[in-house]
Amino acid sequence: MLENNHTYLIKKWTKELGFDHCGIAKAVRLDDDARRLEAWLNQGMNGDMGYMANHFDLRVDPSRLVPGAKSVITLLMNYFPAAEQRPDAPRVARYAYGEDYHEVIRAKLKQLLALIRTNIGEVEGRGFVDSAPVLERSWAVRSGLGWIGRNGNMIHKQAGSFFFIATLIVDLELEYDAPFAGDFCGTCRKCIDACPTEAILPNKVVDGSKCISYFTIELKDQLLPDNMKGKFDNWMFGCDTCQEVCPWNRFSKATEELSFTPVPAILNFSTADWEELTEEAFREIFRRSPIKRTKYTGIRRNLRFITQP
């Protein structure tokens, strides 16, 4: 059948483009996810991230993003670094060690869509990576790639959770993977107990308004809340605590994607180096890094918050 051949080709191309895992699901409206998202938003767990309430219908219905959508292709790309920061330095989440993943993965999605159009035919499609109204973790589960852990991350049974998730929605009928069955967190509470700000709730809900990543990246206020003082565990940009303690990440292996090679400054800077960093140097060193998202003023704010009594 054509669907089988097309599916084989697409999964082959994703490997060639550097994606680690690929799953495909039938494009349908995500009614259950819509209800969960609505409840989460109504409880104010998005904090000041007002954009998460925008385009609600687009988030739960792929046909609103690609008219006539038939398939949702979900792709995982490993970003786990081979090297770590010096232990006494202000901490940066591992996803931000290398180049901005939005740019890296967006380019690969464009290449994938071009391959589909060249070799299969006129296919309408749109690629998304993190910055668009797509419930990518739900699609990852529906396409058989893993389950949602207590910490809100999608966990792959053989490879852990240090992955970027990308989505390509197309109006092409394909062979669909079986949804992932089961939840392998069991009775484990390591991420709940380790979260410095108690943002991870027992019922598989993460209060985004209490997450260190929210405070250090998303929150644009000049001042961070006093009640969080002393709770950041030296995290200056993002947080990996819940992933570090997750038993499934014992399977994590270093990424082979050269674009995610760590910026030397991230590995080598001491606290003093960060404190002495000028705005001009910041712009030059991190011009291709996700760290630029919080801007120089954000880094200075975060640094003061974790270093000053």
- Provide the annotated active-site residues: 130
Q: Write down how long the chain is.
A: 309
| DSSP track, 166-215 | EEEEES---PPPPPP---TTTT--HHHHH-TT--EETTTEE-GGG-HHII
φ, ψ of residue 288 to 5 degrees: the values are -115, 15
The closest of 201, 202, 208, 184 to 52, measured between CA atoms, is: 208
Helix (H, G, I), strand (E, B) or coil at 276: helix
CA-wise closest residue to 265 among 81, 78, 89:
89
Cβ count near 213 (within 10 Å)? 17
The answer to whether the CB of 37 falls within 8 A of the CB of 86 is no
The DSSP call for residue 81 is -
* CA pair distance 171, 34, nearest whole angstrom: 22
* 287 contact partners, CB below 8 Å, separation of at least 6: none
CA–CA distance, 200 with 187 (Å, rounded to integer): 15
Distance, in Å, from the CA atom of 305 to the CA atom of 309, rounded to the nearest integer, reads 8
- Biggest CA-to-CA distance, the chain: 66
Q: Which two tokens stand for residue 209?
A: 């308004």
